Structure 1
Amino acid sequence: MGDPREPPEGTPEGGSGNEDEFRSVVFDESFVRAARIQELSARERLAGSFGKATRPRVRLGPLGTVPRQALILLLLILLAFGTAVYFGVSSPKGTAARPEGSQLTVSLVALSPASAVHPVADPANPFAALPTGYGDGALGLNTPTGAPTGHFSRVEVAKALDTVQRYLVASSMSPTVLVQGATADVRVFVTPGELAEFDASVAQPVDDRHHAATGWMVRFDPAKVALASNTVRVAGAMLVDEADGGTLRITTDHTFVYALKPAGAPAGAPVTLETVRRQLTFQFDRVDLASAQLRLVDSVVQAGPAPCGTSMAGFLQPVLATGQGTVVAPPAPVDPADHARPGWQVCGVLAGG
């Protein structure tokens, strides 16, 4: 018969069964007698006067109590969220990818004269026959005052309008750009994302809807054309709206009239009026506004009198009048079935010409 001090299943495996190993934790009789045993009454237990065997909690006022570990986790989440918001708001503007590549689309339309091109009656007053509504230079641009849009302030809109006005003056009225081949005064307005397209348009202009220098500026071949007057008459308007919440858009539609004569012609030589309509679409984000630059995204140019069939990508091609008048071949009929010719290359007839 087994020892009654052993458990029914026998001595645990690996155990010695010897009580000596527990001798160090056995309390002597005097310790047990000195121990004070307290039995709480029912009232004390209901009153909760005994210590609670729970983790300490932190008081949060009306939110009650929250365990310390939960509070630490909540604080870490709030700290991470605050850090993300801070860096999202305070990160420098412009770090997002900027538009690159061929952003500008150009449409060039030559306006052929319906009859012979004659010089103006009075070379000293070449614009005398123009109808009312044209102004001299920047006055004819009719730049509106800045008014706030849904996402852009009055100051931001006014700055965009000022940039567009200065661009139009530089690209449509500056003699160095018009007849001297200069481009630097226009290039300073171009955003970095469009510089490659601009430079390619100047270096190797081609009418492919993206690389025509005359989409960016009005220019005549210095070897053929000179200004008979530095004054440019202008009529038109500007429209301000938003392409989206972060993009301000300005559309301009102006007609420019130039007094031209052959390059090297003496004083008193016949003067011809050349009419150029420029319908342009500009876009700005806040980086563009800060740098006083613009993105030209669409350019429609009509110019005449001009011969059909002659490329206007590098320079506009005005028909200059002689004393007896200059006759130009009428535009050829367009065959819609001719797919060898780009559909955007069209020619019109100049009204009143």
Structure 2
Amino acid sequence: MGDPREPPEGAPDGGSGSDDEYRSVVFDESFVRAARIQELSARERLAGSFGRATRPRVRLGPLGTVPRQALALLLLILLAFAAAVYFGISTPNRQTSRPEGSQLTVSLVALSPVSAVRPVADPAAPFAALPPGYGDGAIGLGTPAGAATAHFSKIEVTKALDTVQRYLVASSLAPTALVQGSTADVRAFVTPGEQAQFDASAAHPVDDRHHALTGWVVRFDPAQVALAADSVKVAGAMRIDEADSTTLQITTDHTFVYALKPAGAPSGAPVTLETVRRQLTFQFDRIDLASAQLRLVDSVLQAGPAPCAGSLAGYVRPLLAGADGAVTGAQPTEGAQPPEGVQPIDPGNHARPAWQVCGVLAGS
């Protein structure tokens, strides 16, 4: 018997005898009725406004054949490169190279008396005749409270001021530095870029404006001088500034008064007051602040009574009670007036610049 699905007359000529292969493309009657037929107007047909059956392709030239994944990866690489270039240009390198070499410039000024140096009236109270305004040790430094600058925070400025104060105590007030010959505590504050200059100054001090050890530290020759009092009187101030946007600068101007006597002298021996004015300029970058170190870039020291003839590079060399100083070749006498044209210098007067040539100690 034949297949009941075949027509009585059999399959048409050339046919397969089965419509299964067309079943996927034959629409039923309900689909045909629901189809929306839109007839184009004559104007649309004349204008050639025929809708496209496919989505238009974006023309990318040679990139049009590149797979989408590759295009996305290429775009990410370009964006990352552009970001790296932008941030590299817009964010400056705060510290490309650190300062090194002979950065400190030193000026040493001996203040010679015009008369014989007299001892204090009472060795037990050597500072009794000082004018008001002097404090004991670190109190007299007058360290200000930290305040933010244009490019440095209050915390950073406060840390710089603390480092400067501790340096001044170590280099101007500590007996280990003053009369015991130690420089290790002072050197610990110096940045690595200046340590070679400091070491050369300590090993071979010379007044060449860069290698005088007394530019770094106040020190007296322990074979000649001893402290006659435990305290040191100090007056002065500090100023906060910026050298540039990455460099904090602090300038200090202090007068230190030391009570001295000859080395090995017994208790009750004559006591002499030695006055030393130090005007110092310190600079800090953020690496210095983090390590609690400093760069000393300028140092001016006035000391008197001291002879003009001797060098102050290695030690401050005071004239003790009974000794004479000389501004000229002649020995000064009691009550002598300063040589003509020589203006007396008061190391306690901070209104005048500290840098001078050898001068006369006012009030001597």
Aligned partner letter, 2:83: G
Residue 85 of structure 1: how far off its partner (Å): 6.3
1:195-214 aligned within 5 A: 195-214=195-214
User: Which residue in the other structure is 2:315 paired with?
Assistant: 315
Question: Is the alpha carbon distance of 1:149 and 1:93 closer, same or farther for their aligned partners in structure 2, counting shifts above 3 Å?
Answer: closer
The answer to whether the aligner puts 1:75 opposite 2:71 as a matched pair is no
Measured against aligned partners, the alpha-carbon deviations of 1:172-192 in whole angstroms (never above 9, x if no partner) come to: 000010001000110010000
Percent of aligned pairs with the same amino acid: 69
Pick one of 325, 328, 331 that aligns with 1:328: 325
Aligned partner letter, 1:128: A
The answer to whether the aligner puts 1:302 opposite 2:302 as a matched pair is yes
- Contact 2:105/2:299 (8 A) holds in 1: yes
Query: What is the aligned-residue RMSD (CA, Å)?
Result: 2.8
Residue 250 of structure 1: how far off its partner (Å): 0.2
Residue 75 of structure 1: how far off its partner (Å): 2.8
- Contact 1:93/1:287 (8 A) holds in 2: no
SS in 2 for 1:346: coil
User: Which residue in the other structure is 1:284 paired with?
Assistant: 284
Aligned partner letter, 2:57: T
User: Which residue in the other structure is 1:50 paired with?
Assistant: 53
Pick one of 340, 344, 349 that aligns with 2:360: 349
1:146-295 aligned within 5 A: 146-295=146-295
Question: Is the alpha carbon distance of 1:99 and 1:285 closer, same or farther for their aligned partners in structure 2, counting shifts above 3 Å?
Answer: same
**Structure 1: 5+ residue stretches without partners:** 1-40, 58-66, 335-343
CA distance in 2, matches of 1:259, 1:311: 21
Residue 230 of structure 1: how far off its partner (Å): 1.9
**Structure 2: 5+ residue stretches without partners:** 1-39, 61-66, 330-338, 341-354
Measured against aligned partners, the alpha-carbon deviations of 1:248-273 in whole angstroms (never above 9, x if no partner) come to: 00000000000001111111111000
CA distance in 2, matches of 1:331, 1:149: 48
Aligned partner letter, 1:82: A
Bigger mean CA deviation after superposition, 144-153 or 75-84: 75-84
User: TM-score of the superposition, structure 2-length normalised?
Assistant: 0.74
Aligned partner letter, 1:346: V
Residue 282 of structure 1: how far off its partner (Å): 0.3
Measured against aligned partners, the alpha-carbon deviations of 1:266-309 in whole angstroms (never above 9, x if no partner) come to: 11111000000000000001000000000000000000000012
Runs of 4 or more, structure 1, over 6 Å off, are 85-93
Residue 52 of structure 1: how far off its partner (Å): 4.7
- Contact 2:126/2:259 (8 A) holds in 1: yes
Residue 71 of structure 1: how far off its partner (Å): 6.0
Residue 115 of structure 1: how far off its partner (Å): 1.0
Question: Is the alpha carbon distance of 1:320 and 1:151 closer, same or farther for their aligned partners in structure 2, counting shifts above 3 Å?
Answer: same
User: Which residue in the other structure is 2:344 paired with?
Assistant: none
Residue 80 of structure 1: how far off its partner (Å): 1.6
Residue 108 of structure 1: how far off its partner (Å): 0.1
Aligned partner letter, 1:100: E
Aligned partner letter, 2:360: V
User: Which residue in the other structure is 1:19 paired with?
Assistant: none
Aligned partner letter, 2:81: A
CA distance in 1, matches of 2:114, 2:82: 70
CA distance in 1, matches of 2:91, 2:356: 48
What is the total number of aligned residue pairs between the two structures? 292
CA distance in 1, matches of 2:50, 2:187: 86
Aligned partner letter, 1:285: D
Measured against aligned partners, the alpha-carbon deviations of 1:215-270 in whole angstroms (never above 9, x if no partner) come to: 00100011101000120000000000101101000000000000001111111111
**Structure of greater Rg:** 2
